[in-house]
Chain A
């Protein structure tokens, strides 16, 4: 069925259980779908944009209140909506980092964190992960010390992931922030896999910036995200324009330099707003989500030869699983080779595993109902048994 021209209607979420690792937390709520229907036109949120003509001042729809609500929810001083987490990284890097400044990332940082710092000319150093694929305060302190000695000055900025995209592991953000602050290094917490699905309190973590992804974890259309900041850092990253045209003498009011004036308009921002009450509520059910995640991981681990590369028991819904000793052995002799796994899963109503993957792959159980979790766990076991693998 086409929705327009040669564009197929996307029916993936209606027909299947989708365990794609990056899509789970971004599925829209019905409220967001309705808001998108009403506000799909380009400048739709600008009907009532009055002086001082800035997105976060608009009261109808209540975008201004949404900004205040998100800041309170994250326990941060100020928030702006941004077109994806990456634009949050970019705004902070552009503000805090000068060319040649040392900066710190982690061995599990997302490429957009790297690229944002590359744009600013930062010299990147990674905190290594430990044997359990975690970023520890001990390794962070050692890296801070090493880089400070090497450059004769402290790093300009440190990025750390609350939850990383590779393993879905939870890292020692609070302790790492404490270590960084001993060197007066500001800390940005990448909450792309936490803000909107699990509890996040910026002041408890003691970080200076929190970045979240709307389309990854806040049930919002893409591109969307949030950038939150505290105290003096909020003043710096949300500074207003001072520029003046030399011929016209024009100035540009209170437009914010790093935000390029207004950020999210139309469907992305109202979608985010419409989902927000449900997002706030669902964070309170995080323990149940984690229990569901463990249920599925345990089903996979019951298949002989399967191991989990993420921390275990799971504390998150995104998991990296190793099936070299199970499904990959089947693939070696199967007529469909590695495609047998995704094909078998799809026949049973499950999609989201990269076609051809039978070695190390990721999946995410976030947001599935209990019946769907049972179906998913049973499906992995059935596919194993149908292909001659032992299940304990």
Chain B
């Protein structure tokens, strides 16, 4: 059992959900203000970390 892998999957989905919320808030133009740009950048960084965890837990 890999609790870390399971947590990473959910954390990744939740982070993508936050990104989805930004798309909704800024539709239809998707022009982000500075605060939204920072939030998106942080979320993407965290998503990459979750992908790294999954790679390590499931493939290595």
CB of B42 within 8 Å of the partner chain: no
Check if B28 sits within 8 Å of A33, measured CB to CB.
Answer: no
Q: Return A349 CB to nearest CB of chain B, in Å.
A: 3
CA distance A369 to B18 in the complex (A): 17
Q: A284 contacts the other chain (Cβ, under 8 Å)?
A: no
Contact A37 B27 (CB under 8 A): no
From A30, which residue of chain B is reached at the shortest CB distance?
B21
Distance between A319 CB and nearest chain B CB, rounded to angstroms: 21
Enumerate the 3 nearest inter-chain pairs by beta-carbon distance, A residue then B residue, closest first.
A349-B28, A30-B21, A14-B23
Assess whether A34 is interfacial by the CB under 8 Å rule: yes
CB pair A14 B24 closer than 8 Å: yes
Contact, CB under 8 Å: A17 / B28 = yes
| B20-A30 in contact (CB<8A) | yes
Chain A contact surface mostly: helix
Min CB–CB distance B14 → chain A (angstroms): 5
Q: Is B13's beta carbon under 8 Å from chain A?
A: yes
| Contact status B24-A375, CB under 8 Å | no
Inter-subunit contact B17/A33 (CB<8 Å): yes
A1-34 toward B: CB 8 Å interface, digit per residue (1/0)?
0000000000001111100000000010010011
Interface residues of A, count at CB 8 A = 18
Most buried by A among B18, B23, B25, B27: B27
Nearest chain B residue, comparing its CB with the CB of A31: B17
The CA of A37 and the CA of B21, in the complex, are separated in Å by 15
Known contacts: A37-B10, A38-B10. The answer to whether A349 contacts B27 by CB under 8 A is yes
**Contact surface of B with A, Cβ cutoff 8 Å:** 10, 13-14, 17-18, 20-21, 23-29
In the bound assembly, the distance between CA atoms of A358 and B39 in angstroms comes to: 41
Least CB distance, B36 to chain A, in whole angstroms? 11
**Shortest Cβ gap from B9 to chain A (Å):** 10
What's the nearest-Cβ distance from chain B to residue A35, in Å? 10
- A372 shortest CB reach to chain B, Å: 7
Q: Which residues of B contact A15 (CB under 8 A)?
A: 27-28
Contact of B13 among A13, A37, A369, A375 (CB under 8 A): A37
| A14–B20 CB distance below 8 A | yes
Cross-chain contact B27 with A372 (CB below 8 angstroms)? yes
A30 touches B18 (CB 8 A): yes
The CA of A34 and the CA of B14, in the complex, are separated in Å by 6
In the bound assembly, the distance between CA atoms of A15 and B21 in angstroms comes to 11
Q: From B10, B24, B29, give the contact of A13 (CB < 8 A).
A: B24
Q: Which residue of A lies closest to B25 (CB)?
A: A369
Contact partner of B27 (CB less than 8 A), chosen from A13, A33, A38, is A13
A186–B29 Cα gap in the complex (Å)?
Answer: 50
For A341-360 the 0/1 string (1 means CB < 8 A from B) is 00000001110000000000
In the complex, which residues of chain A have a beta carbon less than 8 angstroms from the beta carbon of B25? 369
| List of B residues within 8 angstroms of A30 by Cβ | 17-18, 20-21
Please give, as numbers and ranges, the residues of chain B lying within 8 Å of A17 by CB-CB distance: 27-28
**Which chain A residues lie closer than 8 Å to B24 at the CB level?**
13-14, 27
Q: Could you tell me the distance between the alpha carbons of A37 and B28 in the complex, rounded to whole angstroms? A: 25
Q: Is B29 a contact of A349 with CB atoms below 8 Å?
A: yes
Per a CB cutoff under 8 Å, which of B14, B23, B26 touches A37? B14
A375 interface neighbour in B17, B18, B28, Cβ under 8 Å: B28
CA distance A23 to B27 in the complex (A): 16
Max chain B C-beta neighbours (<10 A), residue from A30, A38, A369, A372: A30
**Cβ A34 vs Cβ B13 within 8 A:** yes
B-chain residues with CB within 8 Å of residue A350 when the two chains form the complex: 28
- Residue with the highest number of chain B CB atoms closer than 10 Å, among A13, A14, A38: A14
- Apart from A38-B10, A350-B28: 17 A-B pairs, beta carbons within 8 A: A14-B23, A14-B27, A16-B27, A16-B28, A27-B24, A30-B20, A30-B21, A34-B13, A34-B14, A34-B17, A37-B14, A37-B17, A348-B28, A349-B27, A349-B28, A349-B29, A372-B27
The CA-CA distance from A371 to B29 in the complex, in Å, is 10
Q: How far is B26's CA from A209's CA once the two chains are assembled, in angstroms?
A: 38
Residues of B within 8 A of A16 (CB): 27-28
Residue of B nearest to A349 (CB): B28
Q: Which of chain A's residues have a CB closer than 8 A to the CB of B17? A: 30, 33-34, 37
